[in-house]
Structure 1
Amino acid sequence: MTPFKVVYGRDPPGLLRYQPSPSDNQSVKDSLLARDALLNKLKENLFRAQQYMKHQADKKRIEKHFQIGDKVWVKLKPYRQHSVQLRQNQKLSMRYFGPFTILAKIGSVAYKLLLPVNAKIHPIFHVSQLKEFKGDDTATTIPFPLLIDEEGIMLQPLQVLNRRTILKGEQLIPQVLVQWSGQEVSEATWENAEDMSHLYPNFNLEDKVIFNGGSIVMGPEENIPLQAENDKLVIEEGHVAAFPENALLRRSTRTKMTNTRLGDFVQGK
């Protein structure tokens, strides 16, 4: 559907070529002939531009042909979700995986590969996504990502390593340090806890927290004898009572003196 049809609800009118007639006005005839010449020039320029672009693109293209049973590397799209906020440099991510065996040739530019059973992706790839494997496949292998769909590689959170709270503007934002599936601990990323809860509702963000069930009321066995604790107090002059029986009172032994401003005041008896 063309933009013209979207706006006006019908196809745009076609440009008919001018058919000369002896009865036509000379000025009209010249105008229509000039229009046809301009259209021919535009088509010629467009064709030349297309051929030039094709020539430049073909310079980087190499004819590839594989046989059934050959081992090839598979080029997959970059990680579409390495972390929630995609902070890592995707240019450093792995590009090729495998090697995998070619099962069949589909058409002239596509091949069907033998992929692992956990790969949620179509097994037919364009020849531009394949690269010839050379060497011993038993010694060299790059494992396939755990989860793959048509949009690319999708990593899943494996565990929570740590947590923190950062100040962004005037808000305190809790974050968790997440280790992703298929990644090392050193590649863990800090993610907002709220974002992780929305994107992965079944993932437990409290993996490292151990909850001890029970009431908020302290039991009798948990009460600490105050007398035993006070017996361990270090008696220091001027801070606590010098006698153990008065330790619970924690009264100062400092001598009380009358305020000099109240010297003329007579206290009633």
Structure 2
Amino acid sequence: MLRAVKPKILALEPMAHFDFEVDAAAQSRQRSYADKRRKDLEFAVGDRVFLRVSPMRGVKRFGVRGKLSSRYVGPFEILERVGAVAYKLALPPRLAGVHNVFHVSNLRKYIRNSAHVLEYEPVELREDMSYEEYPVCILDREVKKLRSRKIPYVKVQWSNHAAREATWELEETMRREYPHLFESTS
């Protein structure tokens, strides 16, 4: 019986050898494609980086929940390099429960941009830690049409806020509470 099986095995051997060659060629080709896009990331102590957080359904991490949460948080300063591919970050106190050493694949370099720096103006606070906002100007007008009614709205820029943070308010309410805004536009 062994003699009858041996020729069949020998006949299959070249095909098995061929499969290994095909697999090795495919593996080599895939490696070359992957290496073209791969870049080794290295950071220096003092660099600032973003930390990647992966959104998971029902899991609340870093204070935000859901698929619309941020993919990256930060920027954080690198304190030291730990091993060949890990870095220790300076995390704020609100992230005290998070381990501060991360693999390089979870980091993205932060490129300083002057648009990221927020200017602030001092605001007078009341005793109850609130402050007064007042409208600065009207930026736009719009009429919303319902079935049988037309409702006029105005886009109002508020004090201590930029123009991009303007809100749509009922024109009737704004005329009643802030008539000085409409004196020059009427």
Q: Please give the TM-score of this superposition, normalised by the length of structure 2.
A: 0.47
Structure (1/2) with the larger strand percentage: 2
Larger radius of gyration: 1
Structure (1/2) with the larger helix percentage: 2
Query: Taking CA–CA contacts closer than 8 Å with sequence separation of 6 or more, which of the two structures ends up with the larger relative contact order?
Result: 2
Q: Please give the TM-score of this superposition, normalised by the length of structure 1.
A: 0.34
